[in-house]
Chain A
Amino acid sequence: MSTPARTRSIEDSLPRDRNELSVGENLDFQRRWWRFEHVVWVVYTLIVALDIAGVFGRGPVAKVHKSTPDGAMNLTYERFQRFQTPSIISIHFGPNAVRDGKLQLWVSQSLITKAGNQRIIPQPASSELKDQALLYTWAAGQNPDSADFAVEPSSPGVYRFSFRLPALADEFTETVIVWP
């Protein structure tokens, strides 16, 4: 024997318009919704303005240029980056950065683990892991006037990275926000 279908008597639960039309209009609710809609548009406009400014990366506010007092290192990077989106951290070296015919750069390991460093241009001749950091060496004749670190953050959040010239004790420690 089959189970009987479930039923319920009809009821006119919607408020009637002028005691005639069963429509359920609620103008108070609708006015609240329009106010909310207005807020949403303001927020959307703000987001676009912030994006144009570069707060979400790829804009004037995101770009950072820094130099050490002796001019041995000039750093350019984006303080706002995006998850799994390539970005370049660039260092220009002054002539005084080279010691004993070679250029050495100490890089915090967070540049690999957090920033997702993919490659270094030009490729250093050697690298060694030392005290939670990497020491890159460009050999004589290879001394570059700049090094580009192609990064691609593997997770959203905030990370810090450091660059140091061991020969001069010049250092940059920077903070980057990675948007999802």
Chain B
Amino acid sequence: MYTVIHAIAGYFLLLLTVRVLVRRPGAQLTPFEFVIIFLIGGVIILATVGNDHSETNCTCAIITIGLTHRLVSIVRSRLPRLAAWIDGIPLVVLREGQWQLEQMEGLRVDREDVIAAAREKGLKSVRDVEYAVVERNGSISIIPR
């Protein structure tokens, strides 16, 4: 029973911590952020399985996490407001030649991140960017002029 409770608590704690910690869990995950996520994941595993390293206990923990994730996915798809809290929302960080400083500071996205995304899009200068949007998965979408 404790494994199930710990697994569910661990899932939501990890979800909250990763959500408040980083905006770039996907495509632009840096080594710095890799360290944090793997370290937190390792610690959560210890708390979840405790002293019981049996196959039964680990199987129960994995299934519990899978079911919790599935349940959260279903609820999230039906409640867009909850989806915004879990996944975040897209934010425009560059709009028609103007850096959107509040969004950039809040997201801790710097100009170099946007310029790198523009280069990946084949643009020579940030001046060729009309919109830069930080997506929910943390990637930066570039809309050229």
Contact = CB atoms under 8 A, between A and B. Distances in A.
B90 A18 contact: no
B131 A17 contact: yes
Interface residues of A, number: 18
Majority DSSP secondary structure for residues of A touching B: mixed
B116 interface: no
B20 A21 contact: no
Contacts of B103: 27, 30
Contact of A26 (B84, B106, B131): B84
Interface residues of B, number: 21
Given A24-B90, A37-B20, A29 B84 contact: yes
Contact of A33 (B5, B85, B133, B143): B85
Nearest to B96: A18
A24 B143 contact: no
Contacts of A34: 106
Contact of B92 (A23, A33, A83): A23
Contacts of B20: 37, 40-41
A84 interface: yes
Given A33-B85, A40-B16, A84-B50, A21 B131 contact: yes
Interface of A: 17-18, 21, 23-27, 29-30, 33-34, 37, 40-41, 83-84, 180
5 contacts: A18-B96, A21-B143, A30-B91, A40-B16, A83-B2
